[in-house]
Amino acid sequence: MGAPSRRQAIGCGVMLWAVCAVATGCAPVFGSKLPPPDLVQVPDAASAGLPAGAPPRPVPLVFTSPGTPRGTARTLAQEPERRRTTPDAASARAQTARADVRTRQLEVIRQQVTQFGELRYLRSRRVPDSVCRNQTPGGDAVLHTFFSYSKNVAVYVRMCGERVVDVRDRAGATPAASPDEQKEAIDLAQQDPRLKDQVADLRPQALVTGICRGRLLATLCSHRTLFVTFTKLGEEAPRYQAEVDLVDRRLLTAGPSAPASAVRPNAQPLQPALLDESREVWSGDAAWKGWKFHYEMDEGAQAGLVIENVEYQGQQFIRKMSLPVIRVKYKRDSVLYMPWTWRIFDRGCGPFKDQIDREAVRTIQRPVPTPGADDHPQPCPHAICYREWTDGDIAWLELGAYARIGQYHIYQAWYFSGPARDRGPRPPAQIAPVVWSGGVACDMEHTHHPYWRLHFDIDGQGQDQLLVRRGDKWAIHSTEAEDLKVTAAGSANWLVRRPDSRRGVWIVPGDGDGAPDRFANHDLSVRRYHDYEDDDWEFDFYDDLGYADKEPVDRQSDVVWYIGHAHHVTTGETRNRWQWHRAGPYLVIQPAR
């Protein structure tokens, strides 16, 4: 008999831990001790041209009452340098033409990609044009994502025009559910005799789950399975939940999600309006106080609100910034399943992978609890929200997107700083990527782990260098590796720079970033850039970031992944059913000297 597969091994481990959890309350162990990164010590920082003195102290983001950050906020239409366009007849024709091309591409795939059985279409998105650079004939580069129900694998098909150029399958990958899958799962749950009389007037949500609890012991799902919840308007904790197997079209579990005493009302219920994409602007360019960049939320992409080609004072610092995933780990995700005592024993939940795309974005039509406070912001009638305000000597520009993924409220924002006045103090320019998260899928302690992908490529020369500073000691990351904010050697600040120009960007941990755990056991990863890795998150629920091939990263085009850890203890929330929790670093610009 051969060695057990990884899925079998994990399944056995989950089963063993389930018994252990019930008996002793022990927790599962995820990940392992990080291997030491390949670091080259810098003996003389001065001769290396490294900054002397203390690392930069970013200007903290401060949110105060009433409702908006201190100062004045302007609406989108009042910003003259940020271009908006209204779709016209020509753009409508272009959209129809793209839809026709997609239809022809999908037909080509169904005729040529037959080794995985029938494929369930999930979504499509553009990919870098370099995919088609050496292809004849060429055409637009597009990635189509499918799922094979019969093989239980995700299938990724890259095309140049109407030609298939690459097909990859990934066992264990669990792409986010398509709208059709969500509707199918919700319909099956609503028709189930155990739920149909209870959930008719409740709001449904659905997302892919990785642990199935329909057997004696919870195990990794062997089929494509969605976790469906039903919530009463004005409440945040779901009343009922179900696990729906889309392959067999049956419910694995169905019933109340929590005792009635745990369902606390939300003081400010939200009724967001769905977007009318024909009138919505999903991309544009910004020029503000020395900053220039492009922003977009591309159709079919699952990387949140993306910022590209970031320049400051005419110099390029960052090629692309995105948020491919927010991994969510609940305190208990695998427990003994007793159908006749659901409320007592089956309190496991998750894990989940939250990915922001257009389908998840909502406009804010009614007050929502302000990130970081108990007051409420102004409504935002657009998919991409905009605010500008001043705080003393600092001016702030905010671009953000509000999303609902399952029961979660997520606000992803990018904050750019600049001088509030033309003369006077000029604090260092910085960017603050922030994820605000609130709400619960289950009324249980959990942690949100946002993964920011930061492709630097300073000056576009492919000569990035990642240094880490702990105290007065400097070292250079020479190969792909993981790193921690705090080690025995001290607390870390990282600097990505181009050595010959000494221009760079500091990565300073935020005060709400928390500590790594056994589910997400590091704070930063560095990878050498490859266009085929600039993709949607393709790893399984218990798999952390891959692409670790020990490739050299010194003086290369580098991608840095920064991971936050926003812990959420639900039992402490009394005024409101959900509160915002924040994570995110500061990116401080170091201009050439």
Quick: pLDDT tens for 239-253. 898 999 999 999 988
Please give the average per-residue pLDDT across 154-162, as a whole number: 90
**Is the pTM value of this prediction over 0.75?**
yes
307, amino acid identity: I
pLDDT interval class at 462 (50, 70, 90): confident
Distance CA 504, CA 316 (A): 10
Q: In sequence order, what DSSP letters do the residues of 142-201 get, joined into one string?
A: EEEEEEETTTTEEEEEEEETTEEEEEEEEET--PPPPHHHHHHHHHHHHHSTTTTTTSTT
Please give the average per-residue pLDDT across 293-297, as a whole number: 89
End-to-end CA distance of the chain: 64
Distance CA 125, CA 368 (A): 31
Rounded to the nearest integer, the mean pLDDT of the chain is 77
Quick: pLDDT tens for 348-372. 677 888 888 888 887 765 545 444 4
Fill in the DSSP letter of residue 460. Answer: G
Check residues 99 and 476 and name the one with the higher pLDDT.
Answer: 476
Quick: pLDDT tens for 261-276. 444 444 333 333 344 4
Distance CA 262, CA 428 (A): 46
Of 160-174, 338-352, 409-423, which range is least confident? 338-352
Quick: pLDDT tens for 211-235. 777 665 667 788 899 999 898 876 7
Please give the average per-residue pLDDT across 277-301, as a whole number: 79
Asked if the model's pLDDT at residue 165 lies above 80, the reply is: yes
Strands (E) across 43-132 are located at: 119-126
Asked if the model's pLDDT at residue 70 lies above 70, the reply is: no
| Count of helix runs (H) and strand runs (E) in the chain | 4, 32
User: Token pair 């091309």 is at which residue?
Assistant: 101
Distance CA 351, CA 27 (A): 14
Tokens read off for 579:
């509160």
**pLDDT of 375:** 38
396, amino acid identity: W
User: Token pair 């804010």 is at which residue?
Assistant: 364
Residues 6+ apart with CB under 8 A from 246: 149, 181, 184, 185, 223, 224, 225, 226
**pLDDT of 173:** 81
Q: In sequence order, what DSSP letters do the residues of 512-547 get, joined into one string?
A: T-----SSS--SEEEEE--GGGSSS----TT-----
Quick: pLDDT tens for 77-132. 233 333 334 455 766 777 787 788 889 999 999 999 999 999 999 988 888 777 77
Tokens read off for 382:
């657009």
Check residues 334 and 257 and name the one with the higher pLDDT.
Answer: 257
